[in-house]
Structure 1
Amino acid sequence: MAQLSDDCFAFGGQLLSVDAAAALIAERIPPIEGLERVALAQAHGRVLAGGLVARTPLPPFFNSAVDGYAFAHASLGAEATRLPLAGRLAAGDAARPLPPGTAMRVLTGAPMPEGADTVMMQEDAVLEGDALLLPPGLKRGANCRPAGEDVPQGAEALPAGALLTAPEIGLAAALGFAVLDCRRPVRVGVFSTGNELASPGQPLGPAQTYDSNRFTLMAMLARLPVVVTDLGILPDREDATRAALAAAACDHDVLITSGGVSAGEEDHVRAAIESFGSLVFWRLAVKPGRPAALGVVGGTPVLGLPGNPVAAVVCFLHLARPLILRLAGAIEQPLPRFPVPAGFHHRKKAGRREYLRVRIEPGPVAQRFEREGAGLLTSLTQSHAFCELPEEMTQLEPGTLVQVLPFAAIF
């Protein structure tokens, strides 16, 4: 495991903007080391170690894009042209020459007959007995797919650092790759903190609630190139927190905790990180989610996320996600956003970014979810997106275009 120095961030402030946090991570965090050869069927969610170069063109041969009739464009005259039919080619058949002055029946994916360069779609074809009638003015090359139209031979089909999802896996398969060189996944340990928490399935104490953050975070991590360890719940004791972080740092690439990073008497995560002399920051200029700690323990980054569920999610998106992608050697993956008119009024403080939960209603229009507490999990299950309000905004009026982050793309 590549280890970070305790002062690798060298950040002197206390309240960090979202963009400054992203820049800090991008500038100071190196990718972890280690490559693995991965079977294509198991490569989903992994990060490509080197550029994938096409060994053959895609498609590998000149072929018909439709069911229809292939012919040589040069056969067309100034008036309607009648071409006798000379055989048939289906997908998988070997190409054969097209006799001069004829047309050939072709099916989708069939190789183009040698000498043919254009296809008349079946739906537009006019047949007269065993001949094809062609009107003048047809475009040369219509309804054909040249060899290498998608990816030429020798071209880079996927760059190093590509996160392999279904389209990338399909492209690699189409190019004939059965195994891929990938970076090893990031080893992530996840803690929750607090005496008030019990794991689901365990009996609740008289003043306890079930831990949801650990499972929410692990579910979000499942979308990233990671191997996750569930490290359970830390008690509200600084010595136990410090010892657990030090032990877990030895065999993980990053640790994520939730809770214990504010300024309360029982908030011990920040103090534990500080005891190692490597606290980078502990407040992010974002709502919900201001109390968030980032530090280094034993060369391993430690992220202390807020305890409120919605705040933990927001800080995960802006801290944990880019940090893990950076450690994984992945190309930067901006959070998905799209503009939608707001359907509500809102006032906010300047200097911090805010995330409101919204429903996307027909129009479309973003309508604010009626309840905004940072501890309300149902505000995530019953709304559709985060509405992102930038630092400089102080007043939002109905009709203003806002950026929304759809839950379907981030959860």
Structure 2
Amino acid sequence: MKKQAPTSLRDALAFVASYVEAPLPPVRLALSAAFGHVLAEDIAAPVSLPRFDNAAMDGFAIRSEDIPPVGPASLKIAQTITAGRTAVHELQPGEAARIMTGAPLPPGADRVVVQEAAEIVGDAVFLNPQAGAKPHIRRVGEDVSRGALVLEAGTRIGPGQLALLTALGLRSVLVAPQPKVALLSTGDELLQSPGSLEAGQIYDTNRPMLSRMLQDAGAEVTDLGIAADDPETILKRLVDAAGNHDLLISSGGASVGFADHLTRIVSRRGYLEFWKLAMRPGKPIGFGDIDDCPMLLLPGNPLAAAAGFALMGRAIIARLEGRPAERPAWRLPAASPLSKRPGETRIFLGRLRSDPGRPTMVDPLPYEGSASLRTLALAEVMILLHPDEVEIGEGDLVEILSI
């Protein structure tokens, strides 16, 4: 007996998780080329950070026993230590070393007195440190201990992660390759912007939007352009791309109109696993394959396409990268009531509201239809209501998705 195709978002996500059986094989990349990729290995620190004791402030490195409990002290300035200097002499009794932030601490020193509490007179410095002041020293391993797990497999390498890996001296890392995604828009009415529109034509807004969302999700995007409502043209572009891509995404041409060929095209060179989900906007979402390459069919209306990718597309990309497909739990109180029909997933657009003295809330925007570009441009987040969430009161927690 044929298994029933999923109709709910939850079942569709579970199907996608089982369909993409294994992530793409990992590759080793030079650290300089790994930005934006997802780690395919745990990273243990090969060295400690800091690598050596160093000054946390500009000032004077001293021995604490040379400072009396009360009153100022006069010490001889024996050396000046700048960041990057390697020749550092041991500090003797009665000596101070003028030191810059990040410079190595001289042996014997256990404290840095900030320069604001010092006065230089000739080759001596008069120090008047505040009682209980910090030592202003960064000790070896204070940030990272050698051998410690610092980044786990599945972590995306962003600016902060790149800085840490660079500081550890790593030359290369094992990462998941960025999934290669081919993106196609369909429709006789679509025209590349800018251009001269004829009567009945509109600019294609979905490809620029979806391309950026894909890149943000970690994908490498191939733009297949716009295909007219001709089955053979659409099929050829998709078949040509299927052999060297990990995912095909189309927008438009998947509803029940007479020119909607995509669902039939997929069935000619593959299998349409499901089509139409109980969600709004985004009901005409489909998933299948062409020549064994997974394919996600998104609606043509911009909000429906954005919602479909945020919920389904990101989950597929995550599976290909070997990351959990589950969305991070991000919930905020609603600033105003919401309602919907039971049994369906509903997406609203919203803006974040931070009123003085109150926690951050999400303010739903009026629903102007799934083709409203103005509403999409005003939105900061998507609000996701699950099938069992029918009436949402002011202050009730709702799930939030980034756009």
Q: TM-score range by the shorter chain?
A: 0.7 to 0.9
Conserved 8 A contact 1:11-1:280: no
Check if 1:349 corresponds to 2:345: no
Change (3 A) 1:163 1:136: closer
Counterparts of residues 114-193 of structure 1 (less than 5 Å): 114-123=107-116, 130-134=125-129, 137=132, 142-193=135-186
Tell me the alpha carbon deviations over residues 345-375 of structure 1, each in whole angstroms, 9 at most, x when there is no partner.
2211233332212233441543332343110
Matches of 1:244 and 1:395 in 2, distance apart?
A: 44
Provide the rounded CA distance (Å) in 1 between the counterparts of 2:338 and 2:182.
38
* Distance in 2 separating the partners of 1:296 and 1:271: 12
Q: 2:56 aligns with which of 42, 62, 65?
A: 65
Contact 1:48 1:160 in 2 (8 A): yes
**How many Å separate the matches in 2 of 1:374 and 1:71?**
68
CA contact (8 A) 2:63 2:109 kept: yes
Q: Tell me the residue number matched to 1:223.
A: 216
* Structure 1 residue 91: Cα displacement: 1.6
Unaligned runs of 5+ in 2: none
Structure 2 match to 1:6: none
Q: Which moved more, 1:47-56 or 1:372-381?
A: 47-56
Q: Is the 8 A contact 1:80 1:136 kept in 2?
A: no
Conserved in 1, the CA contact under 8 Å of 2:6 and 2:15? Answer: no
Which ranges of structure 1 fall in alignment gaps of 5 or more residues?
1-9
Residue from 230, 233, 240 that aligns with 2:226:
233
Map Cα deviations across residues 128-158 of structure 1 (whole Å, 9 max, x no partner): 973434565556xx32211222222333433
Aligned residues: 393
Q: Does 1:400 align with 2:396?
A: yes
Cα separation, 2, equivalents of 1:119 and 1:12: 71
Does 1:208 find its partner at 2:204? no
CA distance in 2, matches of 1:104, 1:351: 72
The answer to whether structure 1 residue 45 and structure 2 residue 40 are counterparts is no
| Structure 1 equivalent of residue 272 of structure 2 | 279
Would the alpha carbon gap of residues 404 and 111 (structure 1) be closer, same or farther in structure 2, given more than 3 Å must change? Answer: same
Residues 249, 135 of structure 1: CA spacing in aligned structure 2 closer, same or farther, 3 A cutoff? closer
- Contact in 1 for aligned 2:224/2:237 (Cα 8 Å): no
User: Any idea what the Cα deviations from partners look like across 1:270-320, whole Å, max 9, x if unmatched?
Assistant: 233234553222233432112211112222110001111001001101111
> 1: CA distance between counterparts of 2:110 and 2:3?
63
- The aligned amino acid for 1:58 is L
Change (3 A) 1:66 1:26: farther
1:262 alignment partner AA: S
Report the counterpart of residue 5 of structure 2 in structure 1: 13
Shift of 1:192: 1.2
**Distance of aligned partners of 1:259 and 1:66 in 2 relative to their CA distance in 1, 3 Å threshold:** same
Q: Are the counterparts in 2 of residues 65 and 109 from structure 1 also a CA contact under 8 Å?
A: yes
Q: 1:219 to 1:135 in 2, by over 3 A?
A: closer
The answer for the alignment partner of 2:370 in structure 1 is 374
Relative distance call for 1:195 and 1:71 in structure 2 (3 A) is same
Counterpart in the other structure of 2:350: 358
Instruction: Identify the range of structure 1 (275-284 vs 311-320) with the bigger mean alpha-carbon deviation.
Output: 275-284
- Whole-Å separation in 2 of the counterparts to 1:280 and 1:100: 80
Show CA shifts across 1:232-254 (max 9, x none): 23333445544443332122111
Where does 1:250-329 land on structure 2 (aligned, <5 Å)?
A: 250-276=243-269, 278-329=271-322
Instruction: For CA contacts below 8 A with separation 6 or more, give which structure has more relative contact order.
Output: 1
AA aligned to 1:158 is L
- 1:177, 1:250 → 2: CA distance? 34
**C-alpha distance in 2, partners of 1:55/1:39?**
15
- Distance in 2, matches of 1:169 and 1:359, equals 31
Q: Distance in 2 between matches of 1:198 and 1:110?
A: 60
Q: Deviations over 1:60-79 (max 9, x none)?
A: 11111112333345667765
Partners of 1:112 and 1:240 lie apart in 2 by 70
- Report the alpha carbon displacement of residue 27 of structure 1 after superposing the two structures with TM: 4.2
* Alignment check: 8 A CA contact 2:119 2:125 kept: no
CA contact (8 A) 1:356 1:372 kept: no
Structure 1 equivalent of residue 381 of structure 2:
385
Structure 1 contact 257–303 (Cα < 8 Å) conserved: yes
The answer on whether the counterparts of 1:86 and 1:98 sit within 8 Å (CA) in structure 2 is no
* 2:383/2:401 contact within 8 Å kept: yes
* Greater shift in the superposed pair: 297-306 or 169-178: 169-178
Q: Counterparts of 1:124 and 1:282 in 2: how far apart (Å)?
A: 72
Identity of aligned residues (%): 33
Aligned to 1:33: 25
Q: RMSD between aligned alpha carbons?
A: 3.1
1:54 equivalent in alignment to 2:41: no
- SS of 1:220's equivalent in the other structure is helix
Deviations 1:216-262 (A, max 9, x none): 11122222433322212333344554444333212211100012222
